[in-house]
Amino acid sequence: MFSPQLPSFLTGVGYNTRFGPVVMEPGSRVAAYVRSAGAVSDEDPVVATNLVTTLAAGLARCRSGKNDVVFVLPGHVETVTAATLTGLVAGTRVIGCGRGSNRPTFTWGATTSQFVMNKADVVFMNCIFACNGAVVVKAFAVTAADNGIIGCDIDFGSVAATNLSTIGLSLEAGAHRFLLFQNYIHTIAGATPTQVIALSGVSDGITIMNNKIMAATSVVSVGVIDITAAVTGLEMGNNILQNRLASSETVLSVGAFAATGVYYGNYGATEAGTPVSDIFEANAASLLRPFNNYGTDTKGASGLLSPAVVT
């Protein structure tokens, strides 16, 4: 069935906005639209009827397990002050509208600011997360299965020592099948989280694909992706990874854990170290299998296969 390309048109199979189509499952609904500035004079009636000014107010309208959608409108700005996601229920999708800098922006404004993804099947898409309004202890904690962060701009550090997340994204025990896809995750060289992406609990089936992660860590031997648990079934592919710390050696670090899975097609850039052995670096206890990853610590020179080829 053909649906006319109106600015806002609801059908049984999706929702067509001026920002593009969104496929919605049967039984789901648009729970709310979020804009911090409130209504505007030429507001679409569908939007005006369901408009709220905070994410928490939008989440409060979602039904658990129904895959309801909260659209966060262009220009929305909100400061995250709580250590949780108030009102979050299973199956919620939070979708930011817009492109570039007019996407909705959430700023972590306190040390304890945190998004806790502790309900299953939750997805955040196309938002700007400025996790740098203070020295944030941990910006994201994922403890439930089948969550995802897709197509977002995530800043974990903008000013050295004062505006950064000590831990950026922590995938903890139970974060099974988490999806990190097509995000730009970054810090400046002088803002150094202890961990940018931390796989810190036993989880199965995590997927990290097609991301650009250009950030600094506080230690040269800790990668922007740091595995400190025996995760299983990991798939990590086609990511661009840069450790911006001066004298950095590693983009992927795996501790003394029997982690399983594969990583392939990733490109790693550091400032020092030995490209073949250091850039993608796993402890001998690791069971991860690498395929066609390349690393370089030198500008203007092509990378080497890293780690070394099997013999």
All domains in the chain, ordered by first residue: 26-305 (2.160.20.10)
Element (H, E) at 34: strand 30-34
**Whole-angstrom Cα distance, residue 156 to residue 216?**
9
Asked if the model's pLDDT at residue 82 lies above 90, the reply is: no
Asked if the model's pLDDT at residue 30 lies above 70, the reply is: yes
Element (H, E) at 275: helix 275-278
* pLDDT per position as a tens digit, 171-189: 999 999 999 999 999 999 9
**Whole-angstrom Cα distance, residue 219 to residue 162?**
18
Q: Report strand pairing: 179-181 vs 153-159.
A: unpaired
Element (H, E) at 295: strand 294-296
Partnered with residue 108 across adjacent β-strands are: 80
Question: Mean pLDDT over residues 155-164, rounded?
Answer: 97
Q: How confident is the model at residue 118 (pLDDT cuts 50, 70, 90)?
A: very high
What pLDDT score was predicted for residue 5?
45
What pLDDT score was predicted for residue 2?
40
More confident residue, 311 or 147: 147
Mean pLDDT of the chain: 93
* pLDDT per position as a tens digit, 1-28: 344 444 444 544 455 555 455 667 888 9
Asked if the model's pLDDT at residue 88 lies above 60, the reply is: yes
Asked if the model's pLDDT at residue 257 lies above 50, the reply is: yes
* pLDDT per position as a tens digit, 35-46: 999 999 888 888
More confident residue, 25 or 216: 216
What pLDDT score was predicted for residue 12?
44
Q: How confident is the model at residue 84 (pLDDT cuts 50, 70, 90)?
A: confident
